[in-house]
Chain A
């Protein structure tokens, strides 16, 4: 049964519905992944028919795109502007981001599952994650370059290694934390690593 509220209802109402669908899609995609997470599951969460979802988003892929571009997720996942910080503040800022991520396991799960799923053939967000990964790696590289220039990288640690290992360690620890929250602390893992590769003292 297709409702026609989009035409009659005020814009505000449509916007509220869109947000509701995006939030439900985030919940479903972050637990079942994109491929298995169905429009039916998403609709069921908020008591609407899948066809209603398609009034707001032309395809499932468009919905995924909206979820990834949603402000809540973008805020969480984006690195803070590291290049405006003093080099010595960079490690602390990364830890603060990890602490913030700790509050939103759903969004972290979404990124973890989608980035892994996107490595498989024909995934709609493959480009998104490839670009995002390259971008994040470049940001890490330039941040650690600035630490190196300030003489704050530990002996024998290269900028390339610092960037790649921090990024990978962080991603891996997040997956382990999602699987077993009591056994793994992303923040502690990251702190230990940053303490060993930089000369910056951390709390």
Chain B
């Protein structure tokens, strides 16, 4: 799922700074791969570093520790999801269609879904490095999806009695719950289809 406000689009940059940014992006891509394949705990910084031809010390120059790297990976991943789902204010129905599309897309990247599921469960502990990240993320997603439902309600596109805030909470809960179910049994769970049926139960016109 998507989250977080996208950073301002980087302008044209020159020199050392641009190079540093490029290097950072390469590290993030490599880290996502490593964490997705081996999990956050098992995936090592050395693995990540060697994929981009750096030493571990070189990597630590860009990210002070593993949990900082993890936070950056999650933000980076969210930027990617944001390209799939329109979360700008009042997008309405398009937001819901984007969520269904995203659920289908997620089914093609089980490693990433697994990373996300395990992390969100681990992050229920306040001591976990990603705890605050997940709080912010839920707030942001919840807010955006609520706004989409509010916009739809204003256009009479929601069924009677559907409360935008509670519909948003349920949508997120369902998406996350479906991910665990799907990871445990990929044959019998179609995340996009279940989500589509659910969202259609809220809207006047089925998705």
In contact, B118 and A183 (Cβ under 8 angstroms): no
When distances are taken between beta carbons in the complex, the residues of chain B under 8 Å from A117 are 118, 121-122
- Check if A189 is an interface residue, CB within 8 A of chain B: yes
In contact, B114 and A119 (Cβ under 8 angstroms): yes
When distances are taken between beta carbons in the complex, the residues of chain A under 8 Å from B140 are none
- Check if B178 is an interface residue, CB within 8 A of chain A: yes
Given A168-B174, A168-B194, A183-B138, A112 and B166 contact (CB-CB distance below 8 Å):
no
Interface string of A163-184 (1 = CB under 8 A from B): 0110111111101101110011
Interface string of B160-191 (1 = CB under 8 A from A): 00010010011011111110110111000100
Tell me the smallest distance from the CB of B95 to a CB of chain A, in Å. 18
Count A-side interface residues using an 8 Å CB cutoff. Answer: 44
| Residue of A161, A169, A189 contacting most chain B CB atoms (<10 Å) | A169
Classify the interface of chain A: helix, strand, loop or mixed.
helix
Given A35-B41, A116-B117, A164-B189, A173 and B138 contact (CB-CB distance below 8 Å):
no
Interface footprint category on B: 35 or more
- Check if A3 is an interface residue, CB within 8 A of chain B: no
Within the complex, which residue of B114, B198, B201 is in contact with A120, where a contact is CB–CB below 8 Å? B114
In contact, B41 and A175 (Cβ under 8 angstroms): no
- Check if A43 is an interface residue, CB within 8 A of chain B: no
- Check if B134 is an interface residue, CB within 8 A of chain A: yes
- Check if B57 is an interface residue, CB within 8 A of chain A: no
List 7 A-B residue pairs with CB atoms under 8 Å apart, sorted by A's residue number: A164-B178, A168-B173, A168-B194, A169-B170, A172-B176, A179-B138, A192-B163
The 7 closest A-B pairs by CB, nearest first: A172-B177, A168-B177, A172-B173, A116-B121, A178-B124, A172-B176, A119-B183
